[in-house]
Amino acid sequence: MDLTEQQTIRDLYALLEKEELSKLQGQTLSFGGFVRNARSMGQVAFLSLNDGSCFENLQVVYDASKDELSGIRLGCSVQVEGVLVLTPEAKQPFELKASRVELIGKVADDFPLQKKRTSFEFLRTIPQWRMKTNTFNAVFRVRSALAYYIHEYFFQHGFYWIHTPILTANDCEGEGQTFQVTADAKKPAEFFNKDNVHLTVSGQLHVEPFALTYGKVYTFGPTFRAEKSNTVRHAAEFWMVEPEFSFAHLLDDCDLMEDFLKYVVSKTMERCEQDIRFFNERIDSHLLERLKEFIEKPFARVEYRDALKLLEKAKEEGHRFEVEDFRFGLDFGSEHEKYLTEVIFKGPIFLINYPKDIKAFYMKQNDDGETVAAVDLLVPQIGELCGGSERECDYDKLLSRMEELHMNIEAYQWYLDLRKNGSIPHSGFGLGFERLVMLVTGMQNIRDTLPYPRCYKDMLF
């Protein structure tokens, strides 16, 4: 069988959209997939068949008198062959009048999925099955489309994809939240002959030399953080997209982030229209409205110092925050980020120029001596979607900051040296890919955007 020739249910819907489905009317087609629903009325049986290609099912109608088909129910795999009939008056726009229905894989009595709605908590305990439910079927299709359009955007804009390593001897964010790697727990240093090897928290440091050579590059791969926090937005293993580009300053970084995100979200909305319509109906009734605004409205740009003033003003006007100590040098909590995006700006905001003490060592030091050219993109419902900065490209300034932070200079000498030879201004950011999936699907727990979530005290198999 030539897989490229095989019709999928998605192909039928694509033809319907173009008003060309009538050319298949009366033709014999075959499909394989699993059964979402089965029922019979007298001599006629109906199957809802899903082949995974899109959200919609194919209605299959056949003669129910065949005994061997009586076991067909939710979860069974079948192959069907029959004639396509357009049914513009009915609930579904077409159906397959099957001449052959073959039960390929039966379902055991303990099959955990049922017709009735099941909680996301329960489905998290069966990640090997949950993609067969409407919701997760749609989530992972959207996830795949988002990844595709991320690559498409960068490819079209001249960025090269660099595969930075997963095993590393550097800690990019300098927070020590790393997973150690060893081949022998008793002699951890032996295998690589290094003091400390761990799973990467970010590909940024490794990708910077490529940006200084190719101009525009990005990494896109798994990253790992041993944060002992149990939230709906943190995973121990998540994917990060990290563009890095030369001759770019902080505001160029914001421009790239905005253009890139708007492209990826709008393309995915077109491609996964059925899926996103379902999320809007069943998961979050404001989703479509929010996504439309995300694409159409410019993101606000707000100085950290101005954000402090706005929060102070909200407090004076009577809004109660759990943490009400707004001083320069403090990081915002999620309640503050929420207030800024959802109440004051009613949309995504770039918060820029943070105090240097709450940001990473590599960020460009501003002339005020107190702030760095950092940016966080904050989004309603999600919180921090991206974090980035212009990089410090002055050797002496970077060295003195690293000394201030008591970093192991020797281990980062290779990185420092980039500032000695042909140094240029450059900037980049990291997008938490799962948080983007949350944004586009309306799913509220990061565990429901990862095929097999790995979180604090939470990993199944």
List the single partner that 35 binds among Mg ion, ligand 4AD, none, CB under 5 to 8 Å by kind. Answer: none
Q: Residue 155 Cβ, how far from ligand 4AD at the closest point, in Å?
A: 19
Q: What is the spatial distance between Cα 154 and Cα 152, in angstroms, rounded to a whole number?
A: 6
Q: 14: buried, middle or exposed (CB in 10 Å: 19+, 13-18, 0-12)? A: middle
> What part of residues 374-413 is at the interface with Mg ion (CB under 5 A)?
387
SS in 3 state form for 150-178?
HHHHHHHCCCEECCCCCEECCCCCCCCCC
Give the nearest distance from C-beta 212 to ligand 4AD in angstroms: 14
Cα separation, 458 vs 3, whole angstroms: 38
Binders of ligand 4AD: how many residues, by CB under 6 A?
A: 23
DSSP code at position 364: P
Of residues 33, 82, 355, 388, which one binds ligand 4AD by CB under 6 A? 388
| 389 close to 362: Cβ distance less than 8 angstroms | yes
Per DSSP bridges, beta strands 371-379 and 167-168 are unpaired
The single residue among 139, 240, 438, 440 that binds ligand 4AD, judged by CB under 6 A, is 240
Cα 151 to Cα 145: distance, rounded to the nearest angstrom: 10
Identity of the residue, 95 or 242, whose beta carbon is nearer to Mg ion in the bound complex? 242
For ligand 4AD, the nearest residue by Cβ is 432
Dist. CA 57–CA 54, nearest whole Å:
8
Minimum gap (Å) between residue 208 Cβ and ligand 4AD: 9
- Single out the residue of 132, 130, 137 nearest to residue 76, CA to CA: 132
Between 56 and 376, CB nearer to Mg ion:
376
Q: Site for ligand 4AD (CB under 6 A): which residue of 234, 277, 282, 301?
A: 234
Beta strand spans in 328-451 (E):
349-355, 371-379, 383-390, 426-432
Select 49 or 446, whichever has its Cβ closest to ligand 4AD. 446
Least Å distance, CB 63 to ligand 4AD, is 52
Q: Which positions from 421 through 440 interact with ligand 4AD, judged by CB under 6 A?
A: 428-430, 432, 434-435
204 binds, among ligand 4AD, Mg ion, none (CB under 5 to 8 A by kind): ligand 4AD
Helix and strand totals (H; E) in the chain: 12, 15
- Give min distance, CB of 331 to ligand 4AD, in A: 12
Q: What is the crossing angle of helices 250-271 and 433-441, to 10°?
A: 50
Contacted by 150, from Mg ion, ligand 4AD, none: CB < 5 to 8 Å by type = none
Provide the binding-site residues for ligand 4AD, judged by CB under 6 A: 172-173, 202, 204, 225, 227, 234-235, 238, 240, 242, 384-388, 428-430, 432, 434-435, 446
Provide the binding-site residues for Mg ion, judged by CB under 5 A: 387
